[in-house]
Chains A and B, each alone.
Chain A
Amino acid sequence: MAEISKIDELTLIARSLAMDDTRAFGRLVDATREPLRRFLFNLTAGDASLADDLAQNTYIKAWTNLSSFRATSRFRTWLTSIAVNEFYSWMRSERTYEAIADDTADTLADTSSDHAHFTDTRIDAASAISRLSPVDRSLVLLFYMEDMPLRKICRMTGLTESNVKTRLHRARARMAQYLSSE
């Protein structure tokens, strides 16, 4: 999907808000869905169906709260913060998550074998990140993949800055250890 400029983005948001224009919102979804789905796919450690459910809920929340969007950030950044909240809410509602998370590396390996375009490096990266706890995984993805500043991550996750830094340091070491053993 082609990226849209910030002006186009604001125009589409204004149309969605003022005229209840679902077609304009559809264009926003089209322009942002692949990065968001990729983020959630890796956040859920390769659970495509859960990732799509969370992504759909994210867009529905965005639609219903569109008037609270502040144009100081990009629409995608705002979506990512909603997606993280959705993921955390889902985690709180699922007691079995840790059990699922323990099994994720195998799941990812199986999933990737269904997709011929997955290279070995991709499987390595996906396996390495899936070995982290869900919270650490969200921090790593937000900081290293989404380039989100620490302050924003703290606001989003409710963790202190020192806690985020410690978790990121530990996660990086764990990933390095896994990748070096491969």
Chain B
Amino acid sequence: MKKETLSDKQLSRLLKHDLPPAPQSHWFTRKVLNRLPGRTPSPIERIAYAIGILVSVSHAVWSVVEVMRTGVFTVGMLAGVIAASVIIMAIVCNIIGIRLARVDDAADYPGVYADAQPRS
């Protein structure tokens, strides 16, 4: 290639078309996915989770104390205890569920594990 001067257009064309690509790396994406750190909940999420658990546990404790004090177990108390349990379960499942989903997704990506060797 013989050129005395280079215009902006020529240089742009030269670089866009003639610069070599990086050597092929079939395992690049899986290496990246394997190194992705787990995402921690944002402060707002943490506060929401904490309030949810606190309110639910308080309600459950209050219900038990009331039953022991009065000896009466009403339908309203039962509904409250069930609601509190469901909320706690939902929060826990949400946190664990994200982790499980990540493991499943990683497993779906072929050869995502660090020690995987290229097939010959």
Contact = CB atoms under 8 A, between A and B. Distances in A.
Closest 6 pairs (CB-CB, A-B): A41-B22, A37-B22, A125-B18, A176-B6, A23-B105, A145-B15
A25 B36 contact: yes
Interface string B1-41: 11111101001101110111111010011011101111100
Contact of A37 (B2, B15, B21, B106): B21
B21 to A, nearest CB: 5
A19 B35 CA distance: 18
A21 B25 CA distance: 23
A60 B32 contact: yes
Contacts of A23: 105, 108-109
B48 interface: no
Nearest to B6: A176
Given A26-B109, A38-B21, A120-B1, A20 B15 contact: no
6 contacts: A26-B29, A41-B23, A64-B37, A115-B23, A140-B11, A144-B15
B32 to A, nearest CB: 5
Contacts of A55: 28
Interface in B35-61: 35-39
Interface stretch (A28-36, A98-106, A152-160): A28-36
Interface in A156-179: 172, 175-176, 179
A145 B108 contact: no
Given A19-B101, A172-B11, A180-B2, A56 B19 contact: no
B98 interface: yes
A130 to B, nearest CB: 10
Contact of B11 (A52, A118, A175): A175
A82 interface: no
A59 B32 contact: yes
B1 A179 contact: yes
